[in-house]
Amino acid sequence: MTTKKDRMAVPQTWREIAEAEMRGKTVEDLTWHTPEGLDIKPVFTDADLQGLHHLHSLPGQEPFVRGPKATMYTGRPWTIRQYAGFSTAEESNAFYRKALAGGQQGVSVAFDLATHRGYDSDHPRVVGDVGKAGVAIDSVEDMKILFDGIPLDKVSVSMTMNGAVIPVLANFIVAGEEQGVDRRALSGTIQNDVLKEFMVRNTYIYPPEPSMRIVADIIEYTAKEMPRFNSISISGYHMQEAGATLVQELAFTLADGREYVRAALARGMKVDDFAPRLSFFFAIGMNFFMEAAKLRAARLLWHRIMSEFDPKDPKSKMLRTHCQTSGVSLQEQDPFNNAIRTAYEAMSAVLGGTQSLHTNSYDEAIALPSDEASRLARNTQLILQNETGVTKVVDPLAGSYYVESLTAQLADAAWVLMDEVEALGGMTKAVADGMPKLRIEEAAAARQARIDRGEEVIVGVNKFRRDNGEPVIDVRDIDNAAVRDAQIARLAKVRSSRNEAACRGALEALEAGARGKKANLLDLAVEAARARATVGEISDAMERAFDRHRASVKTLSGVYGAAYAGDPVFKALQTEIEAFEKQNHRRPKMYVAKLGQDGHDRGGKVIASAFGDIGFEVVMGELFQTPEEAAEDAITEDVHVVGISSQAAGHTTLAPQLIHALKNRGRGDIIVVCGGVIPQNDYNFLKQCGVRAIFGPGTNIPEAAREVFDLISNGNR
C-alpha cells in the first residue's frame, strides 16, 4: 500500500500553477482535514493508485469492492424500501399497500418504542409512546393486520427490531403461517443487532451476555428454518446518527459483525451455513464521495475479516447492505432543502453500490412523514432508477483517482480502530468497557461545536438563512391516547379468547429455556406466539430469567468547550455564570431528562456536555424515566431547570405530565424547557402547559444556553 506521505504528494508542475493562481497561498492551505482524521489533498493522480491491490478486481468477484453482483444495477436495480410505521396496524397497512402500488418494492417496518422495549401497550411506563414513532404491535393479531393483503411469499419485509427481537420475529413467523405462507418462503431481514444498542440507540432490554445469546439463537433458527431470510442487519446507521465519524461507523459496524460471526461459530455452526445471510445497514450522509467510498471500503474489509474464518463459499465473504439517507442531516429550518439533501445522499448510496435504499422525507426533522413527503422521497429513488442512467453501468466510480484512494484510506483507518477493539478483547468487551460509546460521543460534541461556530456550513441553519419566516408544512399527527385505547381493547380481546392454560404453559417453557442454555429461544417463542402470548408477556418471561439492563449514565466534559477557546461571546456567558455563582453560592443547575422509551440520547448528551462546558451544573437523568421519576429526581437534585430531550413525538403527553408532577410536589418554580424534534404546531400547546422555551433541530447551543440562563436569572431575582 502507498504511505500517507505518498498520498499527500501532488505533482510539482500542478503545484506551481496552482500556487501562482492562489497568489500567496500554498497547496497545503487547500488540504481538507476531515473529522475522520484524514488529510485530503486537492488533486489526485494515477500515482495515488499505486499499490492499491483492490483495483484489479471486477464486480461480483473477490474482494467485492466493486459490488457483490457482477451485473449490479444493469441486471436489477436496488430495492426501493421506505421505513415506515405509525399509529395502529390498520393505518400502517394502508400506508404500505399504497406505497407498494406506487413503486415501493419492499416493506420496512418501524415499530413504536413500547414494542421495541418489550412492553405491551397497556403497560404504565409507555403511556406517551404507543403508536407515536412507529406502529404498535402487541400480538399475532396486530401482525396479521399489519400485513393484510401483502403476500409475504412475494414481498420482502425488513424489520428494525433489536430489544424485543424474539417476540416480534415469532409473531411475524406465525402471522405468515396463518396467511398460508410457510416460514421457509418468508424473505426479508430482522435487524437483530444488539451490540449497537448498547453503544448508541439504547433500545435494549436484557444485559449484553443474554442479548448475544438471543442473536445467536436467531442466526441458528433462521439458518435451519428460513433460508430466504436475513438473520441480522449489522447496523452502522445509528452510529452515524449518534455522531460517529465515517471511520468510526465503518470500524465499529464491521467489528460488531465479526463478533456475531464468532458467537454463531461458538454455537457449533459452520460459517457457510449462516454467513451468506448476514447483511449490513449503513447511513449515508452529506459527504458525497466519502460515503460512496465507505461502502466500497466496507466490502473490502468484510472480505478480509471473513477470510479469517476460512469459508468455502465465496458468498460468506460478500458484504451486502441496505442504506438509509441521513436523519441527522435533516433540518427544521428551511425544510424543503431536506429533499435536496436526500437526493444527493441517495445518489451517493447508489454510486457506492447499495442493495436496497430508504430515502427520508423532507419533513422528518419536524414530525412523522406526511403522505406527500413520503411520496416525494420514494419518487427520488424512482427518478434515480429511471431517468439518470446510473443503472446502465456497473460501478461507474471505479478508477477514480480520488475515490479509489479514499476507499483505501478509509479501509486503513478503520482497520486501525478495529485493531483497538481486538486489543480490548473484541466488541462485546469493548462495549462493556465503554470505548466505542465514548468515542462516538466525543465526535458528536466536536461536530456540534463546528456547526454552532459556523465552521461546518448547514444551508438555511447557520448560513444563507431565510429572512421571511419558515414555510408552513402539514405534518402527520398521531392521537396517542386513541391509539393506546384501541390497542388495549384488542389486547383484552386476545387475552379473553385464547387458551389460557396453553399460553401459560408456552411462557413457562420459554422462561425455563432462558434459564437453561440449550433451548433455542426463538423456537420456544414461536410456540408462545401461536398460543397468543403477547409481545410483553414473551419479553417478561425472558426478563424473569435474564433481568432488564440499566445503563450507567456518563457525560463528557471539555470537548465542546475546547472548540470555543478564546471566543469572546462564549467567554462573556461563562463570566456571567461565574458572577451568578458568587451571588447565589451555586451555579445554575439543569436536569436533562429523557422521558418514555426513547433511547436516542445524542441530543441530550451533547446538551449536557456543552452546557457543562459553558458553566452550568448538569445532571443527566437515566434513560426511560416516567415523568414522575424525573420530577422526583429534579426535586432531589434541587435544580433550577429541567430540559426534556425529545425525539420520539411523545412530548405532548410527557412534558405536561412532568410539569404536573413538579407542581403536585410543590416545585412548580422549577423551569421546564424542551428540545428536539418538536413540530411548530405543538409549540403553543406546550407553552400553554407551562413549557418556558422550546429548541428545535439546528438550535445554536450557546444561544440556547443564554436563553436558559436568562430564564433562571430572571426567576432568581
Of 615, 618, 613, 617, whose CA–CA distance to 560 is shortest?
613
DSSP for residue 206: S
Residue showing cell 429511471: 386
From the candidates 54, 116, 238, 605, give the one annotated as an active-site residue: 238
∠ CA(42), CA(48), CA(53), 5° rounding?
A: 145
CB atoms within 10 A of CB 562: 12
Report how far residue 361's alpha carbon sits from residue 90's, in angstroms, rounded to the nearest whole number: 22
CB atoms within 10 A of CB 465: 12
| Amino acid letter, 622 | E
Report how far residue 538's alpha carbon sits from residue 508's, in angstroms, rounded to the nearest whole number: 10
Report how far residue 425's alpha carbon sits from residue 440's, in angstroms, rounded to the nearest whole number: 19
Report how far residue 163's alpha carbon sits from residue 214's, in angstroms, rounded to the nearest whole number: 10
Whether residue 52 contacts residue 39, with contact meaning beta carbons closer than 8 Å, is answered with: no
From the candidates 73, 96, 237, 560, give the one annotated as an active-site residue: 237
Residue showing cell 449497537: 196
Backbone angles phi, psi at 267, to 5 degrees: -85, 0
From the candidates 54, 132, 322, 594, give the one annotated as an active-site residue: 594
DSSP for residue 29: G
DSSP for residue 646: E
Active site residue 594: yes
Report how far residue 29's alpha carbon sits from residue 445's, in angstroms, rounded to the nearest whole number: 26
Using H for helix, E for strand and C for coil, what is the string for 150-205? CCCCCCCEEECCCCCHHHHHHHHHHHHHHCCCCHHHCCEEECCCCHHHHHHHCCCC
Give 40's contacts (C-beta < 8 A, 6+ positions apart). 31, 32, 33, 34, 406
Report how far residue 508's alpha carbon sits from residue 111's, in angstroms, rounded to the nearest whole number: 26
Report how far residue 367's alpha carbon sits from residue 196's, in angstroms, rounded to the nearest whole number: 25
- Dihedral sign for Cα atoms in the order 10, 11, 12, 18: negative
- DSSP bridge pairs for 229: 188
CB atoms within 10 A of CB 500: 12
- Dihedral sign for Cα atoms in the order 637, 642, 646, 651: positive
Backbone angles phi, psi at 541, to 5 degrees: -60, -40
Active site residue 598: yes
| CB-count exposure of residue 552 (10 Å: 0-12, 13-18, 19+) | exposed
Active site residue 116: no
Of 256, 283, 193, whose CA–CA distance to 230 is shortest?
193
Strands 39-40 and 32-33: antiparallel
From the candidates 120, 193, 395, 598, give the one annotated as an active-site residue: 598
User: Grid coordinates standing for 344?
Assistant: 444527493
Active site residue 358: no
From the candidates 83, 206, 260, 591, give the one annotated as an active-site residue: 83
∠ CA(585), CA(586), CA(587), 5° rounding?
A: 140
Backbone angles phi, psi at 87, to 5 degrees: 60, -125
From the candidates 303, 317, 600, 605, give the one annotated as an active-site residue: 600
Number of residues that this document lists for the chain = 717
Active site residue 683: no
Q: With b meaning 16 or more CB within 10 Å and e meaning fewer, what string describes 87-114?
A: bbbebbbebbbebbeeebbbbbbbbbbb
CB atoms within 10 A of CB 46: 9
- Residues marked as catalytic: 83, 237-238, 594, 598, 600
